[in-house]
């Protein structure tokens, strides 16, 4: 019971008693909605993509983009550009990945971006 002074009740958010001993009401704690959090994360990702594209690309990244654009011809140019820039950071980490796995990842990226 010596620890009670340092314990915060999870129900009323006050110190001095355990949650199962609480006789108070649960206090309202404002939290941002999940949709608001997701929208914020998406905006941050778009800003990072724009910064990466404006910073310029190395010759190796240009080569991988050309290879991907040849392998995937059915996707629209805007979605393939965004997915190619998403996967360009992946290509730096593992340059030995096969083109079939790259096209699969581009398809999943383009479908998720078009749905939102």
The predicted-structure confidence for 57-95, as pLDDT tens digits, reads as follows 554 566 666 666 665 555 444 444 444 444 444 444 444
Nearest to 15 by CA among 25, 26, 7: 7
pTM of the model as a whole = 0.29
Q: Is residue 21 part of a domain?
A: yes
Which structural domain, as residue segments, surrounds residue 29? 1-54
Based on its alpha-carbon atoms, the radius of gyration of the chain, rounded to whole angstroms, reads 24
Average pLDDT for 24-39: 89
Q: Is residue 3 part of a domain?
A: yes
Q: Is residue 74 part of a domain?
A: no
| Residue 64 DSSP symbol | H
Q: Is residue 24 part of a domain?
A: yes
Give dist(CA 53, CA 70) in Å, integer.
Answer: 20
Q: Is residue 44 part of a domain?
A: yes
The residue that leads in pLDDT, 106 or 42, is 42
Residue 30 has pLDDT above 60, yes or no: yes
Counting the structural domains of the chain, the total is 1
């Amino acid at each position: 019971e010596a620890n009670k002074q340092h314990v915060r009740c999870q129900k009323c958010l006050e110190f001095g008693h355990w949650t199962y001993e609480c006789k108070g009401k649960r206090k309202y704690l404002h939290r941002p909605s999940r949709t608001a959090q997701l929208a914020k994360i998406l905006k941050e990702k778009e800003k990072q993509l724009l910064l990466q594209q404006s910073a310029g690309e190395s010759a190796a990244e240009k080569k991988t983009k050309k290879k991907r654009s040849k392998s995937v011809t059915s996707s629209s140019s805007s979605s393939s550009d965004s997915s190619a820039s998403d996967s360009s950071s992946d290509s730096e980490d593992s340059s030995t990945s096969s083109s079939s796995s790259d096209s699969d990842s581009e398809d999943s990226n383009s479908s998720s971006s078009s749905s939102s």
